[in-house]
Each structure stands twice: as C-alpha cells, then as structure tokens.
Amino acid sequence: MQSESRVVALIATGGTIAGTAARADDLVGYDAGALSAEQLIAALPALAGQALETWTLARLDSCDMDHATWALLRRELQARLARPDVAGVVVTHGTDTLEETAWFLQRTLDAAKPVVLTAAMRPASAPSPDGPQNLLDAVRLAREPGARGVLVAFGGQVFAGEDLRKLHGWRVDAFSAGDAGPVAVFEDGGLRRFRDWPAPALHAAPVGDVAPAAWPRVEIVTSHAGASGRIVDALVADGVHGLVIAGTGNGTLHHTLRDAAARAQAAGVAVVRASRCLAGGVVGGAEGSLPQHGAATPAQARIELMLDLMRRRA
C-alpha cells in the first residue's frame, strides 16, 4: 500500500498544543487539553483530504500524567501499529512530561512503524501558535517510508524519544536531545536525516501484564548543598521500592545522601544515580555501588528503575 493512502492515526492526550486561553495574548494562563483530536485536525486545512483517524484519549495537562494513562496509551498504540493500513501514529501531548512518555514508550512499545510524539509551547489560541506546524511535521514524519521507533517532532527537528529533554520553561525552542543531537530536521518540505532511526530498545519488564496501580513505586530525590538525607529515610519508612538520586555534576551525592542511600539499600530499596545537570547524564563509576542509567534524565531514570523492578518481580 502506498504511504500516502495509508492511515495516520492521531491520538490526543492534551497539553498546550490543544490549549486555549480566554485572551489571545495570554501565553501562560490557558486550559491545556481543551481541544479534541478532531478539532486539532480541523484547524489544519493542509491536512484536508489526508487519510487520518482521530482518538481523544485524554485532555490532560501533562504535569498530571499518570501510569494508568501510559498503560492505556500503550495499548491503543499497539492496536493501531498492528493494522496493515496504518502508516504510523501521532500522539499530541503536553511538553512538561513529554520526555517521560517518550522514554516509557520507547522502552515498552515494539514500534516497527513511526510513533511520533508532538507538542507545543504556545496554546492554539495564540496569535502565532507553534502547534499547527509541529502537528503537520508529525503527520508527515508518520508517513515517512522506512521511519520507525518512538520519535518526537518539535520545532522543525526530529528527536529520538530516549534522547529528549525539556530545557526551557516557556521558550518555543524548549527541547534538546543533549549530546546525541536530533535524528533529522524538516527541510524544504522534506526530511534531512543525520543518523539511523532509533533501534528497538525493548525492556523485558512485563508491563502489559501488571496493573498500573501495582507498578513499583520509585521516587526522585535531589542532592544539593545542605542536604540532610532525611527525605530518603522518610521515603524508605513509607515503603518506597526504588529511589533515583539526582546528583550534582556527574552524579555526585552530598555525603549525607550517600549515607542515606546506603541505609536505603540495606533496607532493600533499589537506588540509582542520575544527574541534575541538563545534559550529559552520568558516566563512569564514581559513588561506588550506586548504578546509573547513562544519559537518562532523573525523570527517565525513574521509569527505567521502575521497569527494572517490575522485571525483577516477574
């Protein structure tokens, strides 16, 4: 089947891309997720006549993203990807937890076709919203022959889901792929690709078999000047299963947190290190026995540890 005639499925989950404000010049005080998937498509005449189908899965401000929505999104994606008539799937999402959903999907979804996440920093009601172009780019990418994996189309660039990080709270160029750089850029109506599409990187956790309410509980703690470690002790007493410590620099920990992490490990809690720096992650074996997840942001390392613990329990 020709790529143009195959369906692109759009799943809307909310976010600023679907947000509207009472005043057009209000770029921060808006309702995220006010528009449905159908309304997002209807606002884009350039998509008229294309084979598209829509599903409004959620209308979340993505700061409220949760495991139950992830599980549902994963199931809906699996169902669409399995259909021969579907070229790829686009997911509209809020920017705030986009890097987390991207990580979760790239580790749990067998995406032999493109799964393209997209978002916006300006609401749909803004005089110059960024969402329409991002959505057009995402649909184009979902039809790209040979494309595969969990990808993010944003600001004229294509990022691999695992590399994504949000760097800025309100500027339109809010995302980066850190040292990895973008996979491709949209250029003159086409795509200029710098490297191969992301290879499958499926985690062995039986995520589809475990109810989201039973997913291991993993929390993030940040190391900082004057840290006491008491928050770690409180979380262990509260029954946490895993901890990510967002360390300073290359994942270094205040000595009080290092001691608290050792107490947590002795109590059976899994502890990993990440870095609170915006790029680079953690390299090497400093801080001894605490493992790390490379370039993953603390929020992504939290998902990785949750999946590790789920796998260990299985």
Tell me which residues are annotated as active site.
16
Say if CB 55 and CB 11 are below 8 A apart. Answer: yes
**CA neighbor of 220 nearest in space, from 261, 192, 169:** 261
Measured from the CB of residue 153, what is the shortest distance to ligand SIN in angstroms?
14
Shortest distance in whole angstroms from residue 124 CB to ligand SIN: 11
**CB hemisphere CA count around 21 (13 angstroms):** 17
Binding pattern to ligand SIN, positions 46-75, x when CB under 6 A? ---------------xxx------------
Determine, following the binding rule CB under 6 A, whether residue 121 of this chain makes contact with ligand SIN: yes
Enclosing H/E stretch for 273: strand 270-275
- The overall longest dimension of the chain from CA atoms, in Å, is 62
Structure tokens given for 68 = 């139950």
129 contacts ligand SIN (rule: CB under 6 A)? no
User: Applying CB under 6 A, which part among 1-9, 12-20, 72-80, 145-153 lies near ligand SIN?
Assistant: 12-20
Among 12, 32, 47, 126, binds ligand SIN (CB under 6 A): 32
β-sheet bridge partners, residue 192 = 185
Residue 197 three-state SS: coil
Size of the site for ligand SIN (CB under 6 A): 12
Residue 95 vs 223, nearer CB to ligand SIN: 95
User: Closest separation between CB of residue 117 and ligand SIN, Å?
Assistant: 12
Residues 6+ apart with CB under 8 A from 6: 51, 85, 86, 87, 143
The full DSSP string for 207-222 is GGGS-GGGSPPEEEEE
Q: Which stretch binds ligand SIN (CB under 6 A): 91-99, 207-215, 252-260, 284-292?
A: 91-99
Choice from 96, 130, 144, 162 touching ligand SIN (CB under 6 A): 96
Strands 7-14 and 52-60: parallel
> Is residue 76 a contact point for ligand SIN (CB under 6 A)?
no
CA 280 to mean position of chain CA atoms = 18
Instruction: Please tell me whether residue 94 binds ligand SIN under the rule CB under 6 A.
Output: yes
Residue among 33 and 149 whose Cβ is closer to ligand SIN: 33
Q: Which is nearer to ligand SIN, 61 or 76 (CB)?
A: 61
- Minimum CB separation of residue 175 from ligand SIN in Å reads 11
124 lies in the binding site for ligand SIN (CB under 6 A): no
Asked if 270 and 241 count as a contact pair (C-beta separation under 8 A), the reply is: yes
In whole angstroms, the minimum distance from the beta carbon of 55 to ligand SIN comes to 18
Q: In what order do the strands lie in the sheet with 218-222?
A: 218-222, 242-247, 270-275
Task: By CB under 6 A, name the binding residues for ligand SIN.
Answer: 14-16, 32, 61-63, 94-96, 119, 121
